[in-house]
Amino acid sequence: MIWFSLIPWEYGVRNLFRRPIRTLLTLTGLTTVIVLVFVVIGFIRGLEHSLTVSGDPNVAILFSLGMGENLEYSSIPMRTSELVSASVAGIKTFHDRKYVSPELYLGTQIEIPGQSETAMGLVRGVTQSVLLVRRQVELESGSWPGPGEIIVGQLAATKLGLSAQQLSVGSELNLEGRTWHISGTFSAAGSAFESEIWCRLDELQQAMKRQDLSLVAVTLNSPSDYPDLNLFCKERLDLELQSLQEVDYYQSLKKDYGPIRMLAWLVVFLVSGAGVFAGLNTLYGAVVGRTRELSTLQTLGFLRRAIVISLIQEGLLLATAASLIAALIAIFLINGISVRFTMGAFTLQIDSISLLIGCSVGILLGFLGAIPPALRALRLPIIDGLKSV
């Protein structure tokens, strides 16, 4: 049971509409701050989502010993894919066809015909076996690349700093001294593959005058079959191979981007802090302008703590409205925006966790921003308040 009378809820609501300009300015400021928080959280969630969905627990990769996580610099013999298929048990098979994908992967300069500027892109030479191993890949438009053709991921244009129209089906790209026609586009469930350009393995080897591979990806019947693959790498010392489960590979990349995530959370903290100070400034002004009104409420019998609760209620109402508006802006305008990054590109993710964190930060801003001016009202002498202009 509350042992003092609260100011009616409707009084706080009506107060917001009695000063529409000040309320609108405060609402706009809070909404802007919360939208910025959503952008940073969407960046963090998008990066984490891209690295998480890129790894398949049943897929393992073999690449050069000592290359760490730098698959671009890996070089293994071309015969590795056949040796792995013939020697390792536990590789998934369908109609006598092994789920083994030999791949040549590199970062290289890419040029749009007619433009002088070039951009660093990610290119993967593959065979049709890649579709057995990279199960999240789906052809969205056009056809599988034939001679002199390539297919591009949905985020390849973002990675290259180009428009989607410049990488549409039928366009051309120059890479490794040759002109390639775009035959189709593909998606990969938001994984890192979507920022890559794929072409036929034999043609990329010819263009680069290479006969080796960067890696071999295999699909195992289950993750428990991975020790057999790892044992193969340790026994075949002549091939100088190492193996890694694909999930572990992308988890290691996730750890590498840990400092960036920490920096992003620091940005969230700083933006939120700026929002608190902006709210404090506005609410302080609101309290100073209502000094006589607040003192009159005390003469009517309302305790100071009831006035404090009413002011906090007004702050929470404004913050909740700003959070809802910012959430709608984030869902319809920010969600899915492509972002260029060192590893490729990814899209901002405004998912349920992003909404929960963003709205919580917004409501917390309203609460923290309302407390200091409310305490000021608590300390204000009634006589001085009634005399104020």
Comparing CA positions, the residue from 200, 124, 119 lying closest to residue 163 is 119
Q: What pTM value is reported for the model?
A: 0.77
pLDDT of 1 strictly over 50: no
Mean of the per-residue pLDDT values of the chain: 85
Domain range list for the chain: 9-52+257-387, 59-221
Q: What is the pLDDT of residues 229-259, one digit of tens each?
A: 999 998 888 888 999 999 888 888 877 777 8
Contacts for 361 with CB less than 8 Å, ≥ 6 apart: 34, 37, 268, 272
What CA–CA distance (Å, rounded) separates 201 from 361? 49
Residues 344-369: what's their mean pLDDT? 87
- The per-residue pLDDT for 332 is 93
What CA–CA distance (Å, rounded) separates 174 from 169? 15
- The per-residue pLDDT for 100 is 94
- The per-residue pLDDT for 286 is 65
pLDDT of 208 strictly over 60: yes
Using DSSP's 3-state secondary structure scheme, residue 3 falls into: coil
What CA–CA distance (Å, rounded) separates 170 from 175? 16
Q: What is the pLDDT of residues 5-36, one digit of tens each?
A: 777 777 777 777 877 887 888 888 889 888 98
Q: What is the pLDDT of residues 300-346, one digit of tens each?
A: 888 878 888 888 888 888 889 999 999 999 999 999 888 877 667 88
- The per-residue pLDDT for 279 is 65
In the chain the beta strands, taken as DSSP E runs, fall at: 59-64, 93-94, 97-98, 100-111, 118-126, 138-142, 149-153, 172-175, 178-187, 196-200, 215-219, 241-245, 338-341, 344-347
